[in-house]
Amino acid sequence: MIKNWMFRFAGILFFGATVWFVPWLFERLNGQAWWLAVPFALATLMTVLLATITVINGWSLWAPPDRRVPPGQEPDVLVVIPTAGEPPEMVYRTARSVLAQDYPTEKIRLVISDDSHRPAIHEVARRLQNEFPTARVMYYEPPLRGSAERRGDAKAGNLNAALEACSVDGPIPITVFTSLDLPALVPVSYCEDIPFIEMRDADDELTDPTFLRQAIGQLISDPRMAFVQTVKEAVVGAGDPFNNMEPLFYRRGMLARNATNSVFPCGSGLVWRREALEEIGWLPVWNLVEDFQSGVEALRRGWRGIYLPIVGARGQIAPEDIPNYFKQRGTWALDTLRWLFWGRKRGLNGRQMLHFLELGLFYLHSFATLVFILTPVLALTLGIYPVVATHADYALHFWPFMAATELMLVALAGDLPYESVWRSRQMWVGLTPVYIWAAILALVYGPKRKPVYKVTRKVHRVGLYWREIMPQILLFLALVGSMLYHLATHSFLFEADWGSLLWAAYFAGLLGQVIGNAGYGLALGFRRVRGKGVQWDSARAG
C-alpha cells in the first residue's frame, strides 16, 4: 500500500467540519426565500455526499509490484488498432510504436481494422510488414456500419468485428502480408487462441518500451485478472490548458480504485485476457463507448481489473478546441450517467459501487455548482441570502468547513503540484453546462435509446467559439456585473459583503479558463501548432 496519511488526516478534519457546519446551516436557512434556501441546502448536501464518498474511496492507495515477463517467455498477443478516418501517418506512427517495443515481433499479431476502407491504410499495413518482417501485420475491413453482419456502431462495432473475425474456424477475411509482399487470407493459426488482446486507438503511440512485458506479466500472475489499464497521456499545449493529461485521475484516483478492485478501462494502454472478453460477449454496445461498460461487465462476473501506473499510451493529438473538447467530455459524462441511471449493477460489491457512484456524482455535482455560482450573484444584487446569520456566526461555522474541504482537495493530489488541482477545478466549473446537459440527455433518452456517437476529431480546428461557450460567458458576466454593482452601491469599507465578493471573484476566475480556451490557438493564425494536426476554421473567426 502507498502511504496516504495526509489525505486520511484531511478526511477526518472534513468529517468534523461537516458535523460542525451542516446542522447549523439547516437551522439558519432563510424561511423568507425558500426558493433559494432549499436548492442551496441540497447543493451543500450533494457536496458533502460526494466529498464523503471521495474520502472513503481514497482511503487506501495501491500500486502492483513489477511482474514483467522475462525474456524468452513472452506469450503471443493480438493487437487491434481500429481506425476510422485518422491520417495514415498517424496510424503508421501508432502501429510502428507497437512493433518497435521491447517485445519479440514474432509474438505480436497486429491487426489494423479500417472502418474507412481506404487504400492508404492498406498501404500502411504493407509498409509495416516490410519494415518488421518477423511480425504478422494484417489489414481488415469490418462490415459497413448499419449492416446486419455488424454488432455495434462506431469503435465498438469495428473492434467486435475484428475480434470475431480472429475467432472463426479456418481462413479469415483479413489481408496478411508475407515477406514477398503478397497479400493472402490469414490462416486461423495466426489469430485463434491468442490469450491476450490489446486494443489501441489509432492516434495513441506507445512510449514505454516495456508496456506489453509489464502488462502481460500482471495478467499471467493472476488467472482471474481480466484486464490491465495503464496511464494515458497526450501531446498538449503549454500548461495543458484543457487538462487533457488528467493527473488527478491517473496519478491518484486510479491507485485508489486498485485497492478495491474498482478499476475500469479507459481506452488505450489497455490489455485484456481473451477469456474474459469472450465471457462478456466481446465489447458491449449498449452504451455510447465500450471502455467503461466492458470493465463493469467483467467486474460483475467476478473478474478483476488492475491499474499499472506506467504510461501505456500517448495521444498524438488531444482535443484543444472547444467543440471537440466539449464533445469528448460530454460523451464521457453521458456514458457514465446512462450507466448510473439505467445500467446493470448486479454482481458489483459495495466498495465497487461506491467508486462508480463517485464517478456519477462528480458529473451530477454540476447542478450544485450552478447553485453555488448563482448564490453570490443574488446576494450582491438583491441582498437575498440562503441563510440568516451574522457575519461572525457564518464565518465561525462556514470557513472551517471550507478550509477542511480545500485541505482535502490538496491532500487528494498527494505529491502532484497545486497547479494540477487548480487546473482540474477550472475544468470542473467550466464544464458545468456540458455536464448538466449530459445528465438531462441521459434521463430523456432512457435505457433503450442512446444519442448518436461521434468520433473525437484528430485535428484541431482553430477558431473563436463564442457561441459554444455562451452559458459560461453569461455566468461570468453575471458574476462580474454583480460585483461591480455591489461595489458601486455600497460603502467600500463598511457595507461591502466581502464574503460574496470573494465567492463571485473565485467562480469568475475559474470560468475564465474555459472562456479563454474558446479562442485557443488563434494567436498562431494559419500556422500549424506543434507542426501537425491543425486546421483554421475561418467561419468561426471574428
pLDDT of 174 reads 66
Angle (CA) 49 52 57, round 5°: 120
**For residue 139, what is the enclosing H or E element?**
strand 136-140
Question: Of 88-97, 140-149, 423-432, 444-453, where does mean pLDDT reach its minimum?
Answer: 140-149
pLDDT of 193 reads 78
pLDDT of 450 reads 86
Grid cell of 317 as nine digits: 493529438
pLDDT bracket for residue 57 (50, 70, 90): very high
Backbone phi, then psi, for 198, in 5-degree steps? Answer: -105, 135
pLDDT of 455 reads 80
Q: In what order do the strands lie in the sheet with 172-177?
A: 183-186, 172-177, 136-140, 108-114, 77-83, 196-199, 270-273, 225-234, 304-315, 204-205
Rounded mean pLDDT of 517-538?
57
Angle (CA) 77 227 307, round 5°: 120
Interval 186-218: pLDDT, tens: 554 567 679 999 999 999 999 999 999 999 999
Nearest to 79 by CA among 102, 112, 49, 52: 112
Rounded mean pLDDT of 87-97?
96
Please, how many CA atoms are within 13 Å of residue 128, restricted to the half-sphere of its CB? 30
| Cβ contact 107:77 at 8 Å | yes
Distance CA 111, CA 464 (A): 39
One-letter identity of residue 123: E
For residue 525, pLDDT beyond 80: no
Interval 249-274: pLDDT, tens: 999 999 999 999 999 999 899 999 99
pLDDT bracket for residue 526 (50, 70, 90): very low
Report CA torsion sign: 459, 463, 467, 472: positive
| Cβ contact 228:311 at 8 Å | no
Contacts of residue 17, defined as CB under 8 A and 6 or more positions apart, other chains included, come to 400, 401, 403, 404, 405
One-letter identity of residue 380: L
Rounded to the nearest integer, the mean pLDDT of the chain is 90
pLDDT of 536 reads 45
pLDDT bracket for residue 532 (50, 70, 90): very low
For residue 117, what is the DSSP state?
A: -
> What is the length of the chain?
542
pLDDT of 172 reads 54
Backbone phi, then psi, for 233, in 5-degree steps? Answer: -115, -175
**Alpha-carbon dihedral 114, 116, 117, 120, rounded to 10 degrees:** -90
pLDDT of 166 reads 82
pLDDT bracket for residue 170 (50, 70, 90): very low
Task: State what percent of residues in the chain have pLDDT above 70.
Answer: 92
Place of cell 441570502: 385
pLDDT bracket for residue 151 (50, 70, 90): confident
In terms of Cβ atoms closer than 10 Å to its own Cβ (0-12, 13-18, 19+), residue 441 is middle
Q: CA distances (Å), 226 to each of 71, 196, 302, 464, in order?
A: 23, 10, 9, 44
Contacts of residue 219, defined as CB under 8 A and 6 or more positions apart, other chains included, come to 196, 225, 227, 228, 271, 273
For residue 461, pLDDT beyond 50: yes
pLDDT of 530 reads 43
pLDDT of 186 reads 52
In terms of Cβ atoms closer than 10 Å to its own Cβ (0-12, 13-18, 19+), residue 27 is exposed
Please, how many CA atoms are within 13 Å of residue 412, restricted to the half-sphere of its CB? 28
pLDDT bracket for residue 342 (50, 70, 90): very high
What separation, in Å, do the N-terminal and C-terminal C-alpha atoms of the chain show? 54
For residue 522, what is the DSSP state?
A: G
pLDDT of 175 reads 67
For residue 537, pLDDT beyond 50: no
For residue 339, pLDDT beyond 90: yes
pLDDT of 523 reads 64
Domains and CATH numbers, the chain: 5-59+355-458+469-517 (no CATH), 77-318 (3.90.550.10)
Q: CA distances (Å), 41 to each of 24, 44, 72, 354, 436, in order?
A: 11, 5, 62, 23, 19
For residue 493, pLDDT beyond 90: no
**CB crowding 491-514: b at 16 or more within 10 Å, else e:** eeeeebbebbbebbebbbebbbbb
Grid cell of 285 as nine digits: 454496445
Can you give 396-425 as a three-state secondary structure string?
Answer: HHHHHHHHHHHHHHHHHCCCCCHHHHHHHH
Residue 298 CB neighbours (<10 A): 25
| Cβ contact 167:192 at 8 Å | yes
